Structure 1
């Protein structure tokens, strides 16, 4: 499993960010749509495993299958472009402006939401036999997740909002580490191993991922969860998006960029010897 060293890794990250910013509108939307769809099918799978086995750790261990597949197929998540696109702007890549970065983020958000919402509708049909019965045990569990992670935060007021934001930060710290870890190897097995570990960690710890939530909360509402669209937006999605941006860009993108790309001179390094003037060089011959 060939290992890509950190200084080479950051160059790959900047190249990836530039490529995503310059991608056409059509391709950006398709890749974002499919990325969220694959990830959220895996989320539904993980919740199903957790509920039916009574073992949340097993669900967390299996959840990364969706994340690995979407990145191996070249699809995109908002959490990933939060980290990569700004690096291309910092590196002053041609055509990468603040407006272009924001455009990329907006398109990926729209594509991700559409893909996640489609899966929410599909899973609601699956868990209710096309709205002809009450939700299954798993469907009810998804509804309770939506309640606990909206009105559950609201019950704690400012402390709940702070907790939500911090969980969003820590989530994309892990998720973006998974995105970057996939670039550390040139083999499929190496990429999968690198991605699997931080994604499993975030899911088991219950950190807040804006794209997974685009599935969980609409699905919960469709299956009768006791919370509202406003609860979802104010007490989850919006703070989670902000936390994901801060976590991925700060603790992954900027840290790697600063210490492995814009490095400072080493302490105690000897300055290069000054070149001798031509006349002195000639005089010594």
Structure 2
């Protein structure tokens, strides 16, 4: 029988060795040495896997600053791959929900059930695509609308950094979507399965410019909420659930997401849809892009900057200064 004193000494030695190997309070492997952010504080110090609303805002502002400091090649890679992931997500929507007999024009008129079709259409594809973007690491124009605006309000980046990041991400996302269209066309997965693709594409052109702009606001308001909630959760399950609800709602309701529309219009073009460049760019892409910025940059980034950021304090100090002079 092993002596109990010997066992205690052995356990003590093991604990000492473990303490030397794992330093309590040191950055987790997710973060480099010396890194500090709201997520780091919550997970490694508070041992919480959910951030509070002020911490979410701080984390999103931190992301904006962090992403602006990426080297140009890294930013291009991550924005292009984000466009590819959007293509995977949209294709899942179109070739699963879009092929149901309940979808308009697919089955018989008696079988058509618009609500059921939209439920399946939005339940998996877009949440899958956006979860991939967040978890695997990619940069979407619509998420950067919120990140960069929050970083600007907090004084972490200048206004030209916001414009630079939005321009590069939009362009990189376009390239990624175009690459996926070429690959999807080569794979022939859309052959004889274009009914819903064409119906959605032509349907988007029936709305006036102003309506597309407002639907763009709604789209990125919901996508921004998904971005916010994904940053709140610090585990994979939490991120997936936080993303799924608002992203599926945006897809089911048929709002205008500029990057998703890039893929859809280019895919429809590749499959023979009769669409002009003016219809694609001026009638849809431009108003959707501008609306998306309002949805993410104003409805999320600016609103929470006034709620949890430094902006109210700065405004109060400015007013106090003016009053003293008066």
Q: Does 1:148 align with 2:192?
A: no
Q: Structure 1: which 5+ residue stretches go unaligned? A: 129-134, 154-159, 266-285
Measured after TM superposition, the shift of residue 263 of structure 1 is 7.5
Per-residue CA deviations over 1:65-118 (Å, capped at 9, x if unaligned) read: 11101110121100011111122222122xx22222211111111110010111
The answer to whether the 8 Å contact 1:143/1:219 transfers is no
Measured after TM superposition, the shift of residue 136 of structure 1 is 3.1
CA distance in structure 1 between the partners assigned to 2:243 and 2:184 by the alignment = 26
| Aligned residue pair count | 250
Per-residue CA deviations over 1:135-187 (Å, capped at 9, x if unaligned) read: 6342243133222212x12xxxxxx2221111100000000110111011111
In structure 2, which of residues 101, 124, 134 is the aligned counterpart of residue 62 of structure 1? Answer: 124
Corresponding residue for residue 85 of structure 1: 148
**Which runs of structure 2 are paired with 1:39-54 in the superposition (5 Å)?**
39-53=86-100, 54=102
**Which runs of structure 2 are paired with 1:91-130 in the superposition (5 Å)?**
91-93=154-156, 96-127=157-188
Per-residue CA deviations over 1:3-46 (Å, capped at 9, x if unaligned) read: 21011111101100101111111011100011111122111111
Measured after TM superposition, the shift of residue 264 of structure 1 is 5.7
Q: Does 1:14 align with 2:61?
A: yes
Per-residue CA deviations over 1:242-281 (Å, capped at 9, x if unaligned) read: 000011111111111211224869xxxxxxxxxxxxxxxx
Measured after TM superposition, the shift of residue 234 of structure 1 is 0.8
CA distance in structure 2 between the partners assigned to 1:218 and 1:264 by the alignment = 44
CA distance in structure 1 between the partners assigned to 2:312 and 2:262 by the alignment = 41
CA distance in structure 2 between the partners assigned to 1:138 and 1:261 by the alignment = 48
CA distance in structure 2 between the partners assigned to 1:100 and 1:50 by the alignment = 39
Q: Structure 2: which 5+ residue stretches go unaligned? A: 1-47, 103-116, 314-326
Corresponding residue for residue 278 of structure 1: none
Corresponding residue for residue 163 of structure 1: 211
The answer to whether the 8 Å contact 2:153/2:302 transfers is no
After TM superposition, the runs of 4+ consecutive aligned structure 1 residues lying more than 4 A away are: none
**Which runs of structure 2 are paired with 1:91-240 in the superposition (5 Å)?**
91-93=154-156, 96-127=157-188, 136-150=191-205, 152-153=206-207, 160-240=208-288
When Rg is computed on C-alpha atoms for both structures, the one with the higher figure is 2
**Which runs of structure 2 are paired with 1:205-284 in the superposition (5 Å)?**
205-262=253-310
The answer to whether the 8 Å contact 2:210/2:287 transfers is no
CA distance in structure 2 between the partners assigned to 1:163 and 1:209 by the alignment = 13
TM-score using structure 1 length:
0.83
The answer to whether the 8 Å contact 1:112/1:211 transfers is yes
Q: Which structure carries more relative contact order (alpha carbon 8 Å, separation 6+)?
A: 1
Measured after TM superposition, the shift of residue 192 of structure 1 is 0.9
